[in-house]
Structure 1
Amino acid sequence: MRVAVFRRAHFNAAHRLYNPNWSDEKNQEVFGLCNNPNYHGHNYELEVKVSGEVDPVTGYLIDLKVLKDIIKEQIERRFDHKNLNLDTEEFKNLNPTAENICYVIWQILREHLDEQYDIGVRLYETPRNYVEYPA
Structure 2
Amino acid sequence: MPYLTKQFKFCAAHKYWNNKWDKDKNYQVFGDDIKVHGHNYLLDVTITGEINPESGFIVDIQDIKSIVFENVINILDHSQIEKDIGWFEGKQPSTENLVLFIWEQISSKIEKPAKLYKIKLRETPTIFTEYFGPDINGN
TM, length-normalised to structure 2: 0.89
Aligned-partner Cα distance in 2 for 1:105–1:82: 15
Q: What is aligned with 1:35?
A: 34
Letter in 2 for 1:125: E
Letter in 2 for 1:26: K
Percent identity, please. 31
Cα offset for 1:118? Answer: 3.7
Q: Is the 8 A contact 2:45 2:116 kept in 1?
A: no
Which 5+ residue runs of structure 2 have no aligned equivalent? Answer: 134-139
Cα RMSD, aligned residues only: 1.4
Cα offset for 1:115? Answer: 5.1
Cα offset for 1:23? Answer: 1.6
1:16-73 Cα offsets, whole Å, 9 max, x none, are 111111121111101111111xx11111110000011111222210000110111111
1:78-125 Cα offsets, whole Å, 9 max, x none, are 000001111111212211011101111111111211353142100000
* Structure 1 runs (4+) greater than 4 angstroms displaced: none
Query: Would you say how many aligned residue pairs link Structure 1 and Structure 2?
Result: 132
Q: What is aligned with 1:19?
A: 18
Aligned-partner Cα distance in 1 for 2:94–2:131: 13
Which 5+ residue runs of structure 1 have no aligned equivalent? Answer: none
Aligned-partner Cα distance in 2 for 1:125–1:30: 19
Q: Is the 8 A contact 2:44 2:121 kept in 1?
A: yes
TM, length-normalised to structure 1: 0.91
